[in-house]
Amino acid sequence: MMLPASLDEAVAALSAMPAAVPVAGGTDLMAAVNKGQLRPAGLVGLGRINETRGWQYQDGNALLGAGLTHARMGRPDFAALIPALAASARAAGPPQIRNAGTLGGNIVTASPTGDTLPVLAALEAELLISGPTGTREIPVSHLLAGREILGPGELIGFVRVPLLHAPQVFLKATGRTGPGRATASVAVVLDPARRGVRCAVGAIAPMPLRPLEAERWIASLIDWDGERGLAAEALTAFGEYVAAACIPDPVAADGQEPPALPPAVLHLRRTVAALARRALGRALS
């Protein structure tokens, strides 16, 4: 295993050995190796790259190192900057996983149940990719949707997140899907400067879903210069709008009644509605 000390060295190591795989905390990668799903020809360990283990400020944004662990993001100083990302990091698995697992690993694994992913989608985060030809930037949603892939020798170096200085909430429902894995999750982010509400729903589809019309509708009801509160009925309607946008009603065949949603799907829809209602209520309280 190679252990480069900088991003440049890691890119060079991966370029010199294209069959090698980068490993950060190893919580996903080693699980795949142990299950026999992956047999990497070599490993490039990212754990000694200090430049990606913290964050820095840049023009109203935070530039988060891909090597930030969930445990680090869960600490109070980080929570004061990006509360929803801190909440998602605190919810990501048991302590030993949070101590090792990283932001970059969560993004590249791109599991539907990746807890940071709906938050990054709601924040409209951008990825700074380091590779043999330099650095390029892509919206996180493009990578999660498979519209962009990491090329040979490319690594996520940093994640750029806007600092919005306003309430944000991440809520997660868990079931029997594994150790603390989400059955549904919701991130709600307020953006007072743009008078916007941004919301993303995780775990119910291969990538986080953005209910854009529900976002615009609810943002138009908020008194951005005043109290910012909303009536209970509006919060409930937002929850249902979000849930119906993400889990639409079945379409009726010509001249027939639409079929009912299966009970499990109906339950999931109610869960999403409740999470979205509560998340917005907390953000506005």
Ligand X SMILES: Cc1cc2nc3c(=O)[nH]c(=O)nc-3n(C[C@H](O)[C@H](O)[C@H](O)COP(=O)(O)OP(=O)(O)OC[C@H]3O[C@@H](n4cnc5c(N)ncnc54)[C@H](O)[C@@H]3O)c2cc1C
The residue ranges that bind ligand X (CB under 6 A) are 21-29, 31, 46, 66, 92-93, 97, 100-102, 104-106, 108-109, 113-115, 150, 155-156, 179-181
Nearer CB in complex with ligand X: 30/244: 30
For residue 238, the minimal CB distance to ligand X (Å) is 25
For residues 31 and 266, which CB has a smaller minimum distance to ligand X in the complex? 31
- Look up residue 161 and give its amino acid: V
d(CA 105, CA 150): 13
Q: How far is the CB of 67 from ligand X (least distance, A)?
A: 7
CB of 76 to ligand X, least distance (A): 20
Element containing residue 96 per DSSP (H, E) = helix 95-100
Asked whether 220 and 214 are in contact (CB, 8 A), the reply is no
Torsion of CA 103, 200, 160, 52, to 10 degrees: 0
Q: How far is the CB of 46 from ligand X (least distance, A)?
A: 6
Is 155 or 188 the residue whose CB approaches ligand X more closely? Answer: 155
**Cα first-last separation, the chain:** 50
Query: Cβ of residue 92: shortest distance to ligand X, in angstroms?
Result: 4
CB of 142 to ligand X, least distance (A): 15
Cα 182 from Cα 30, distance rounded (Å):
21
Ranked by CB distance to ligand X, the top (closest) residue is 105
CA distances from 26 to 40, 85, 137, 161, 256 (A): 13, 21, 25, 24, 52
Closer CB to ligand X, 22 or 167, in the complex? 22
Q: In terms of CB distance, is 64 or 218 closer to ligand X?
A: 64
Question: Which tokens go with 210?
Answer: 């953005």
* Residue 25 or 83 having the CB closest to ligand X: 25
CB 197 within 8 A of CB 188: yes
216, containing H or E segment: helix 212-221
Tell me how far, at minimum, the Cβ of 61 lies from ligand X, in Å.
18
Nearer to ligand X, 25 or 239 (CB): 25
- Residue whose structure tokens are 């008194």: 223
Q: How far is CA 15 from the centre of its chain?
A: 28
